[in-house]
Structure 1
Amino acid sequence: MSLLEHMPVTRRGRGLTLVLAAGMWAGLYALNERLWDWILYDGFGMDSADRVTETVHFFVYDTVKIALLLVLIIFVVTYLRSYMSVERTRALLGGKREGVGNVMAAGLGVVTPFCSCSAVPAFIGFVSAGVPIGVTLSFLIASPMVNEIAIGMLLTLFGVKITAIYVGAGLLIAIVAGWILGRMGVQKWVEPFVFETKLRGQPVDPSRALNFDDRVTMGIEEVGSVLRKIWPYLLVGIGLGALIHGWVPTEFFTTYAGPGSTFGVLIAIVIGIPLYSNAAGIMPMVQALFEKGLPMGTLLAFMMAVVALSLPEMILLRRVLKPQLLAAYVGVVGIGIVMVGYLFNFLLT
């Protein structure tokens, strides 16, 4: 039984319930920091200047904050994306020339609901539907890299300027990398079964159009589904951020990846690839590193490596890409991330 079935039966009643839920969300978000201040400092008498207290406060406060942001972002994006199907996406991309198709695919990668894991089945569907391989790769790169969760959290944590840089850089990498790979004629390096996969290219039956209740139910169910899947990664990411925030000295980062480090961007990328914890889970760590003085270009490169070149995604991609194309994919995307990191370190100094 879904949560929606407990709501008032009328559309107006359900709308009122959603308004009340939004009010409760806003109240929890506004009171989050004060609540933990009271619990830790007044309730348990912990010293706010102590490193252990600082680490614990960072962990509990950010866990609740990120969870609340995820609930809001996932619900809103799921409701909006219910108007877009995989079949419709393929229909929009099919038959487009390279260049124009790469731009469209990268743009669709931002607004469609595919993370690095679910983007692989979408990749199979697009290729089997006749979408050019280079265009499909632009989608595959943009979908996890410029994802809605990262955009929403960057906007909340760092503001419009940094978010715009992240989105613009991610789209540029996706468009250029997809175009380059497409021009290389890499179709021969796609596993044969991908081209043999048969998926329906027809849009959803109009007689079963989604209504308001369906879309709200989808949002509620997606919130629960995503949180169940990512909560271990989320806690690990926040825990790493808390440890960095409270214990790791600033000198460590300024020495190896700080403003004076020639290889800081490269080091950040190398560290980021095996540290995959999902875009939401890595955001607290990015925030902690930013507070420790790391350049924003280095952090953008780090975050892009985490979400676009992660080991789990490479393992999944190996199921559909031969080693030659997988190596070319990693090389082209990696070079783009390195260039973006150094460029924005230069622009933002």
Structure 2
Amino acid sequence: MSSIFERNGRFLVRVRRQGYPTATKTFTRRSDAVSWGRRVEADMEAGRWQLATKRVPTLCEVIQEYRQVVAPRQKGALTYRYRFDELARLPFSSKPVNEVLPADVARWRDQQLHQHKPSTVARKLAMLSSIFSWAWRERGWVAGNVLSAVSKPRQGEGRARTLTSEEIDWLLQAALTSKAKWLHPALVVLMCSAMRRGELCSLRRQDIDFEAATAHLSDTKNGSARDVPLCPDALSAMRQLSAAAEAECRDLLVPIGPCGSMSTRFTVTVRRAQRMYKDVCLEQGQEPQDRFLSDLRLHDLRHHAVTAWTATGALSLAELMSISGHKSTRMLIRYTHLQAKSVAAKLASLPAQARRATTPNRPGVGPAACSPDPDECLDEQRRIAAT
């Protein structure tokens, strides 16, 4: 609705409507103010007001501004820079942002599902949704987030990939042959400490307390700093990284810029390990395993570390969370992938007394029913006779 205020002989008209920025203008005559206010209300009602008053940027322009203004403050902006380039090339990126329809996004989503996994498409939609929310709430270029009307693809189960002891041996052996001398100790740290890739890449020499066997992470995914306890193997690998960094006069333990290059090094190392493994199998006349080191990602080392420490049974839930950095048991469980056969073997190794404690006696079943206590039977007979 429009409101008119008189100030110093002039008339200020203000039009407010949900979904539109407030429109104001000053006139010398009240009749002109009333006429302009009614016209603006009619344009807003018909959806023409933004186009009539100012130029609305295209979606591509909005993405570029979001990338410059908002993205630098977000974690992973450097890693996902390619994702912004991809969104800027959307089929409808040349349209004014307020003319992008849910149908446009839905068609693009369906095309993406033919090429990528649902989880990948869901992440792209989430980033696009953040851009539209920013354009709506902080710039007023759109009347709402069009992604709210687009259904998200149903994602599958989370990854449950861990490594076998044989895969670990071959992977570390291949890492020793890499030109990047830091790769082998870095992989040992990730396998033992459950650190994230970005956390390890941000570590500096002064962040390691070798006497306390801890690594201080000041910048984590959830935004909370924490100290990571290091086992002897991880601590030894940290000493190698620290010594190499000191020799090269640098603070960072891992000498790379964008942490994405670590994933590239890891992928190359996995392929080298597969080749080494297959060559040895051929020399020994053995059939190589088809799934050996297949479908392996760098982040799977974090899953492996959490699962391995959980399988020991030596750590409490709070101690496991102090290693992984999870703030909820639900997230910790997502990273724990115990095999049923290993749990069954542990159950079989329990003392017989502990196994019997888990099986309560039922009336008519079990040793207690077959062999009653003679004293209890005598007491029961005396009670019956007395009555």
TM-score (norm 2): 0.20
Larger radius of gyration: 2
Q: More helix by proportion, 1 or 2?
A: 1
Structure with the bigger percentage of strand: 2
